[in-house]
Amino acid sequence: MGPRITAIRTHLMQAGPLGVSGWGDVKSSITTGTRNWLFVTVETNAGITGLGEGSGWPRVVETAVGDLAHIVIGQNAFDIERISQRMAVAMMGHGMSGVVGQGAIAAIDMALWDIKGKALGVPVWQLLGGMMRDRIRAYTHASTPEQAKDAVARGYTAIKTGGVANPVAKARAIRAAIGDDCDLMIDLHGPPWLSLPDAISISRELGKLRPLFVEEPLAPENIEGYRALRRAVDVPLAAGERHGGLHGVAPLLFENLVDVIQPDSGRAGGLTGMRKLAAIAEARFATVAPHSGSLGPVAEFAAIHLLAAIPNALILERMDPDWPGRSQVINGAAPRMVDGHVVVPDAPGLGVTLDEAFVAANPSLRNVGLPSGGWPKGTEAATLYSQPRTPRAGILPD
């Protein structure tokens, strides 16, 4: 019999903007001071406290966590799958829960894995099946050749760039700067999202750079577009960060629409949901590269534990450099990097603790914002969700 859950507390904070983003020409919601992180502590009658994070849409997820608390308190903290199912059933009457409901489940689920690891004296990766690897390859972001070369000098062997403004020219310049011994990834997400013809043309051109993957070239709702894109290009495709939970991400795998799945550990139903997605991906010969761009340090550690234990781990996204306060949130326990790889931690549970005073000293102010810089000239005021590139003759540089 495991410990009983006695209380659930939430800790919402305003995080600082990224230090470097691959989206230097597009100011996104996480580069303009609207990034929030939500941490959840789950307390038990055994004196063991677990820590989780649900940063999919933090200010809204906080309300969902509070709404779920009464069906979680009193439960056996070791019954993680049962509690996950219990939370899903409790939200069923509200329809498809999306990133808010799955973010709340993720935060509580993550904390339960932390509790179980601490109670048994083992790291979470041990509970997930044991260690497949003791180091996990990581990538970071760059918007300029200079930023890319700096990251390589710090040991990274994989770089991601992004943007909907001149992505081919930017990717070419960074490939030239880092050479062929480093992997390159290109993120094409909106707004505005690309039209299908533009996504095909751009992805074909990017394929000449031999990228590790091209990420989110189409809007996440455009499943029919992904089917057509898959037939038209041979470049590896990646997606999944914007979907909530197992059932949101899995359709991309069921139809073999992507080669790399990118579940967000703050949106995908926690480690329970991500482990199931990893198994589906393995059955489809796809790999896992968790999203981390908007997430805080607790969700990052959860992703590290997952990647340490699954066979089809590809790479970990890192925001490096990031806001200096990131490591202070977890009392300085930043992931240890060696030669472009994260060293898998061996402390019980997730291996992190929360500096509640620091979190409280950075109260949440706002959590949404409009990006700027990605739309074709003269159209930004309309803030279109998707549109073709214009003038179309200029989308592929000579």
Three-class DSSP category at 336: coil
| Distance set, CA 341 to CA 87, 152, 296, 351 (Å) | 35, 12, 19, 18
Of the candidates 235, 205, 232, 199, the one whose C-alpha atom is nearest the C-alpha of residue 217 is 199
> In this predicted structure, what is the pLDDT of residue 59?
95
Tokens 């820590």, residue? 51
Whole-prediction pTM:
0.96
Please give the Cα distance from 104 to 86 (Å, whole number).
Answer: 13
- Indicate the length of the chain as a whole number: 398
> From the candidates 141, 291, 305, 341, which is the catalytic residue?
291
Q: Answer whether 301's CB lies under 8 Å from 123's CB.
A: no
Q: What is the pLDDT of residue 130?
A: 98
Provide the pLDDT for residue 25: 66
Structure confidence at residue 26 (pLDDT): 67
Does the annotation mark 243 as catalytic? Answer: no
> Is residue 94 flagged as an active site residue?
no
pLDDT given at position 374: 86
Confidence (pLDDT) at 13: 97
> Residue 29: its pLDDT value, please?
55
> Average pLDDT per run of 10 along the chain, which is 398 residues long?
96 88 65 86 98 93 97 98 97 88 97 98 98 98 96 98 89 97 96 96 97 97 98 98 91 97 93 97 98 92 98 96 94 95 98 98 92 89 94 86
Which H/E stretch holds residue 39?
A: strand 36-44
Q: Look up residue 92 and give its DSSP letter.
A: G
189, 243, 305, 341: the active-site residue: 189
